[in-house]
Structure 1
Amino acid sequence: RVFRAAGQGEGQLPRVSLLTFWTPPTTARLTVETVPPLAAEGNDVLLLACNVPENPLGYAWHRGERVDNSQLIASYRVDTNVTAKGPAHSNRETVYPNGTLLIQNITQKDTGFHTLLVSKVDLETEGQTGHLSPHPLGCIITSNNSRPWEHKDTVVLTCGAETRNTSYTWWINNQSLPNSTRLELSEDKRTLTVFTVTRNDTGPYVCEARNPVSVSRSDPFTLNVLCE
C-alpha cells in the first residue's frame, strides 16, 4: 500500500519543509587567573585577565570582592594608555594594556581577593574576581642520595623550592662552608654538591633562604654515609 501526501501525483516527490535552527556562538566570560598559582612571599605574581571583551575602554583593579573606590589599586584607559594610581596602590602594582595586573614582591598583606572591572564600548561594565594567597618562604634540605657510599658517591643537596629573588646561605657543623675542592655551590647557591663523600661529611647541614620580604632557615640535615 502506497500513501501519497496531499497534492502529490504519481512520480512526484513529496513536499518537504526544512527548518534550519541557528544557535549564536557562546561568548567566553571574563576570568582572572593567578600565575603562578602558588607563589612564595617575595615573588612576583600576575593576575591574568582572560577573555576580555573586545575593544574595552579601560580597566580598574580593586582590592576585595567589591568595587570600592577607597580600595582602588589602579585604573587604565586604553585610548590614552594612561594609568591612574588609586588609594590602595603600594608602588608594586602595574596594569598592562590587556588588563592583567602585576604585583611585585608579594607579601602576606596581599592575601585575599582582587577584583577587575572592565569598561566596555556599550558603556556597560563587566567584573571578575581573582584570589591571591602567598605562602611563606619554605626552606627544607633534600638530597639526591639518602645513603651514599664513602669514597664512591657524590651527593647533591638542595635548599627549598626554586623561587625568584631569593639568595641562599649554607653552613656545615654550624660554620660557613670551608674552601674545599670537594664542595661546589651552584651559580644561584641553591644546591650544594659534595664530591666523593667521606664519613667526615655527615654534617649537619643548614641552609637559609632570603628574599626581600621573608627569611627561612632549614632544620639541620645529616648525611647517612655508608662505610665498607
Structure 2
Amino acid sequence: MLPKSLVSRSLVMFGTLIGLGFATISASAKEYTVKSGDSLWSIAKNNDTTTKAVINANSLSSAKAVILPNQKLTIPAGAKADKSPRIKPLTESSSNSSTKTNKSKQTTTKTATSGWTTMVATAYDPEVAAGGQGTSIPTGTGVAAALSRYPKGTQLEIKFQDGHTENRVVNDTGTFAYSNPNQLDISMTNSEAMQFGRQSIQVRVVG
C-alpha cells in the first residue's frame, strides 16, 4: 500500500495536468458575438485567422453561409490569416540576348496570367429587384454590369476577398452597375446579398 504522502503528491500532479489541459483547450479558441455588418471574411481578418478556419470551427456550409447579429461563433487559434497580396502584379523580365523562342514563351505566359481588373462589387436578388413582378433571371447564376463595358453573355471570372473564385455570365444590368462601369452587382439570394455588403474584387474576361 502506498504511503499517504505519495498518494497526495500523485493527486496534486494529476490535478495540475488536468488544469493545464483545460487551459490549453480554452486558449486554443474564443467566442465571438456577431455584429451587424459582419461577414465571415471580416470576422476572420479581425481575429487574425482564416475564413476557412472559422467555417470549419462552426460547421458552416460555405463562406456565403448566413450569420445573424448576436450569433455566437467559435474563433479558432493557430490559423494565421494570409496577409500576402491576393493578386501578385505580373512581372516580365527580358534581355537583349533573348531568342525569339523565349519571347514567344513570355508572351504566352503573360496572356494566360494577365487581364485582372480591380472592381467594386455589391450584391442583389433579382426577385427582390423585380418588386415581386417576376423575372426570367435565375437568382445566383449571373451578374449585372454596365453593358457598355461587358455586353450580355460575357463570361467573367471573379476572385473574391477570401480567395475563392467563381465564373459568372453577364445577364443583367441595373441602376448602380449601369451608371458605373467599374462596379458589378452579383446575383444571390436576398439574405446572402445583405451579408455580402460591398467588397473589392478582381475580375477578368474568360469568354
TM-score range, shorter chain: under 0.3
Tell me which of the two structures has the higher relative contact order, counting C-alpha pairs closer than 8 angstroms and 6 or more residues apart: 2
Query: TM-score under structure 2 normalisation?
Result: 0.27
Larger-gyration structure (1/2)? 1
The structure whose residues are more often strand, as a share, is 1
Query: TM-score under structure 1 normalisation?
Result: 0.26
